[in-house]
Chain A
């Protein structure tokens, strides 16, 4: 049953991705200043939104685990961390590609870029920690604490463009953007979100299966009475 739901969601996400890709590449108008390069926004912004969503949900799972420990919550935290790292990683590369024709450089130590890079390194560290600790219970507690600490970076990433008005632009509002661009962006957000759910479900199943394998005692081997 769950497998069928996952397959149906994956098909839906694929369909949405094709439709949203058409809207972003063909249907939406070119930007007045950036021209067609602005079309990168339709993949860069949703990727970063999914990364921030995953990081926030990882934080909530970590807090929940410390108050109500369960393998499912620990597995869910692991799933959100990896999926967040995935979306954030390629989202940062997309931003870098967009930066070259608009800013004239692939990388600059802008507060938004720097705080995001720190966040990604932190979540890579979180996942590394989970691999290094063998004891499942200790690993779950330690990584929950680390997950809470590194989540401090999430609001810094979001508000960095307001606190330090530097090269990266501030968040746009639908009121100041062409409605066609807003529509294309929302469809892309929906497509990325559907894929996000598919990825998290799949990664959660992997993590939970590993936890169960770790905590289930091996079957007793009965010696044949001689």
Chain B
């Protein structure tokens, strides 16, 4: 049993997982950018 697996089984702590973190943050920023762009493209020509 290697050290990381041993640590995980002994403490219950999840090892690594940065790929999930970057995916989540990347998705958040992309969603904000795309929704912001969609609002800008739909903006009224004359301000109400």
Contact = CB atoms under 8 A, between A and B. Distances in A.
Interface of A: 2-3, 10, 17, 21, 24-25, 32-37, 39-40, 43-44, 47, 86, 90, 93-94, 97-98, 100-102, 195, 198-199, 202-203, 205-206, 208-210, 212
Contacts of B3: none
Interface string B6-47: 000001111111101101110111011001100110111011
- The prevalent SS among residues of B at the interface is helix
Give the most central of A34, A98, A209: most B CB within 10 Å. A209
For the complex of A and B, the 3 pairs showing the least CB-CB separation, nearest first, are: A209-B44, A37-B17, A202-B39
A21 B27 CA distance: 13
Interface residues of B, number: 28
13 contacts: A17-B32, A24-B25, A33-B11, A33-B13, A34-B14, A35-B17, A36-B17, A36-B18, A37-B21, A44-B24, A101-B20, A203-B39, A208-B44
B39 A37 contact: no
Contacts of A102: 14
Interface of B: 11-18, 20-21, 23-25, 27-29, 31-32, 35-36, 39-40, 42-44, 46-48
A203 B16 CA distance: 39
A43 B28 contact: yes
A5 to B, nearest CB: 12
- The prevalent SS among residues of A at the interface is helix
B28 to A, nearest CB: 5
A33 B8 CA distance: 9
A105 to B, nearest CB: 13
A79 B26 CA distance: 25
B47 A2 contact: yes
Given A102-B14, A208-B48, 18 more contacts: A21-B25, A25-B21, A34-B13, A37-B21, A39-B21, A40-B21, A44-B24, A47-B28, A86-B31, A86-B35, A90-B27, A94-B27, A98-B20, A98-B24, A101-B17, A203-B39, A209-B46, A210-B44
A130 to B, nearest CB: 14
A97 B31 CA distance: 15
Given A40-B20, A205-B47, A33 B28 contact: no
Given A40-B24, A100-B20, A206-B43, A35 B15 contact: yes
B27 A101 contact: no
Contacts of A39: 21
